[in-house]
Amino acid sequence: MIVTVTANPSNDRTVALNTPLTRGAVHRIVSVSTEPGGKGVNVARALTMAGLEAVAVLPAAADDPFVAAVAGAAVPYATVPTTSAVRTNLTITEADGTTTKLNEPGAFLGSSTLDALADAVITRARTANWVVLSGSLPPGVPDNWYAEIVAALQPLRCKVAVDTSEGPLLALAAGFGRAAPDLIKPNSEELASLAGLSAIELENAVAQGDPEPVVSAASHLVELGVGAVLATLGAAGAILVDHAGAWLATPAPIVPRSTVGAGDSSLAGYVRADVGGDPPPRRLQMAVAYGSAAAALPGSALPSPADLDLDAVRVVSIFSQSPDNPAPQPHQPKEGV
């Protein structure tokens, strides 16, 4: 069982343009789609499509149309009651794959609702393989909420992954001395914010064949207690660093259509491979295959196993402290995983 937590769920509305987005201009929309979203919901959707048992935990009123949309997507869910409607986020995608997002702040969560959400997470975590904490935090939630949940889950047997940004990410990092997750999944901007570096410099370094700045930044987080760092770097691929080594994965070139959900798909791919018993390099390979497949799909569509091309993802070892974790050979996914 994988438990995903989305404190700030959203109706993800995506509009596609066949011309570049121009400020102040009138645009004709080519297509429109709306999906139940929020980063944890996206992870649960991708895992469910892969045949894994997952449940999305989130705050929402029972009669909110968002809940019906989650049920319609065949994703098991558990809600903590609220009185406010789930927010709507707007994404604008251009023909070349450029993505612009306009995100609402979300509904205010009071202390009683937040306590109920924490209790729901901890209760389900007792029988979970993974707990995935994803996304922004809505108004009323302190930045250190993820850090507190990670600490509360420490006595349990489940693994914990966190994918967040800005204040919640910095608060999480500040608590690494007390409790650190088994996995964090920063993108280049998020990793740069933790390391005091430039996101553009990190991506450019990897694109030019120098992964050292990313590896160094991620290794520092591992030294602080994080189990593994999955740094997603857009078209440059991704780097995985843990106590045993570091690996770089690069996908084959694609025609990007929308980056919405690509990072969430990468996280789902990593968790899927881990649950299947795969070693770190293969987890990275699956993560990048999922992220690449998501970027090639329109709107907020998420990839199914049929959309993946694992063999197109090249993984190389940057350094390894264990002979048990070489770079993978062409990977055949395990049946049922």
Q: What is the pLDDT of residue 305?
A: 96
Instruction: Band the pLDDT of 336: cuts 50, 70, 90.
Output: very low
Closest CA to 331 of 310, 312, 313: 310
Provide mean pLDDT across the span 296-303. 87
Provide mean pLDDT across the span 272-286. 97
User: What CATH number is attached to the domain comprising 186?
Assistant: 3.40.1190.20
Instruction: Band the pLDDT of 333: cuts 50, 70, 90.
Output: very low
Residue 328: inside a domain, yes or no? no
Residue 62: inside a domain, yes or no? yes
Q: What is the pLDDT of residue 332?
A: 39
pLDDT(321) > 70: no
Residue 69's domain comprises 2-320
Residue 333: inside a domain, yes or no? no
E strand spans, the chain: 2-6, 10-17, 29-37, 54-59, 77-80, 87-93, 99-102, 130-134, 159-163, 183-184, 228-232, 238-242, 245-250, 314-320
pLDDT(334) > 50: no
Alpha carbon distances (Å) from 54 to 43, 128, 153, 204: 9, 9, 18, 36
274 assigned to active site: no
Residue 331: inside a domain, yes or no? no
pLDDT in tens, 13-44: 999 999 999 999 999 999 999 999 999 999 99
Structural domain total, the chain: 1
Q: What is the pLDDT of residue 337?
A: 36
- Average pLDDT score over the chain: 92
Residue 59: inside a domain, yes or no? yes
Residue 329: inside a domain, yes or no? no
State the DSSP string of 275-290: HTT--HHHHHHHHHHH
Provide mean pLDDT across the span 251-273. 92
pTM value is 0.91
Q: Which residues contact 2 (CB under 8 A, 6 or more apart)?
A: 43, 44, 47, 52, 53, 54, 55, 128, 129, 130, 131, 132, 271, 275
Residue 34: inside a domain, yes or no? yes
Provide mean pLDDT across the span 267-281. 98
pLDDT in tens, 49-100: 999 999 999 999 999 999 999 999 999 999 999 999 999 999 999 988 888 9
Q: Which of 264, 307, 309, 311 is catalytic?
A: 264
Structure tokens at 280: 């770190």
Instruction: Band the pLDDT of 235: cuts 50, 70, 90.
Output: confident
pLDDT in tens, 41-51: 999 999 999 99
pLDDT(281) > 80: yes
